[in-house]
Structure 1
Amino acid sequence: MPLTHLLLALSVVFVWGTNFVVIRWGLDGLPPFLFAALRFAFSALPWLLLVPRPTAPWRKIAAFGVLLGVGQFGLLFLAMRSSISPGLASLVVQLQVFFTIGLSLWLMGERVRGFQVVGLLLALAGLGVIATHLDATVTLLGMAMVLSAAFFWSLANLVVKSLGPVNMLHFMVWSSVFAVPPLLALSWLIEGPHAMASGLQNASGLVWASVLWQAVGNTLFGYGVWNWLLARHPAATVTPLALLIPVFGMGASALSLGESLPQWKLGAASLVLLGLAVIVCWPLWQSRRRQPMP
């Protein structure tokens, strides 16, 4: 991956990692499905009036919108309302990395190279350390919902991999339209019209800022750039970078929520970073070794 592409990927990972704290702020004022519906509504409008429809089949535009909007974020927001903490949610949802690579191997014939396996194992060890030490409140239902959200994220990644050359910003805008109706329907049926109206009437400025950040920063910028990278590089190269999300998530939680950073957390973060360094830097080192000496 070129350095410019790597820096873009890291900026997305930073936005996504710190976003779990922002999600917590939004859920303090809005029901989860309504929060998700507003997020994708603002991702579509007014931008839908300004950008042309992407050169992709309608079925893939719709499938991505539903998988990402309802499958990933509908379930993630529902779990984060009361069943799992932001830090642990940022960790568990990263299993999408392994779901994406596994599905790519099965469906698209991609192969994982030896150094990528080593890097993934190191990063997985770091995630395992975090999982065995986190003291956040979590329920079995919350874990199941976030794992399901991770699986739906991986399916959305595969839709992107099948697109070919597409303007990803346009794709994110148009696909967001298809997430809104099912999310509003779920909010009406599960949360109820009274909770929807109360949430809208009583939402604070911080809650609305959280919604707008979800739409512009997290969705349009984050997924637009991420999908652009997935369309140009193998899934096993791009998706492991998402393992940095819980590292940024823990840092944001420490700064904004006062969570401590004991030695075991720093050790786990070091394992994740080491695994990512192997995945990202090994091919660069090998290519330099092959270059002839001047």
Structure 2
Amino acid sequence: MHAFRPLTEPPGPSRPVLADRRPLPAAIVLDGVRPASPQRLWIALDLVVVLLAAAAGAGLAVLLELPLASLAAAFGVVALVVTALDLLRTGRTPGHRVLGQRSVDEATGLPATPARLARTRTVDLRRGRDPVRVVPHGTDGLPQLGEQWQMSASRALDAPIVLTLDNGMAYSLVGPTVIGRNPALVEPGTRLLQIPDLSRTMSKSHALLEPQGGVLWVTDLGSMNGTAVVEDGGPREPLEPHVRTVVRTGATIELGDRVATVGSPVRQPPTTTAADPGPREG
């Protein structure tokens, strides 16, 4: 059984929920983001890339004595398709990479879907924050935890640790949890927290998180890009793989390029759907 389910899901076994930015205000999604100027210069550079690919096809046709126009067109079309797919998947193309930019949906800060390409904003990654990595500076504009997410009802009031990711989504850890792009069980009873990661710097099973006694124990599971902890504005401390390390409330954890903040639980009043756990023994 997994640890989390959305409020709109009918009662039953819980499951992992991928983060959705639609509830987040634009002020949070685009905080610290600097617009690129001019906005569409990357298109001209991408056209140059397509023309260079067509020229390479024409040169190859001459060498192989093949139809010149057909091979040039084929190379150009392939370059155009690859560029378009790159734009939809990452918000970046060869032109963006040369200029240090990214084009994102102005409502979510993520790469736009085909239907939203007309409503994109090109941002300067060299002068401002990358909107793919949202790091809220406060909670005033954030939806309350109980408005968007709900744990298994029997544990909703005594969750020891809340993990807030860099996309603004918060999760209550109610037991040993493996976090990653596509996590797998470490041992029976371990929960799974699947996190979307466009940068693919987070490993499939990146780290094991174990809440205990008001602190969080973190174990890097031999991830490709490592795990690091920053506490109270101190230095960045990389974790040794497979070494269990304690992390206190208020610290941040770097999981590849993803960032999570360790916080105290947000207690909600009892409701008709959340049973009162009653007095705790011992």
Tell me the TM-score range normalised by the shorter chain: under 0.3
Q: TM-score, normalised by structure 1?
A: 0.23
Bigger relative contact order, structure 1 or 2 (CA pairs below 8 A, ≥6 apart): 1
Q: TM-score, normalised by structure 2?
A: 0.23
Higher helix share: 1
Higher strand share: 2
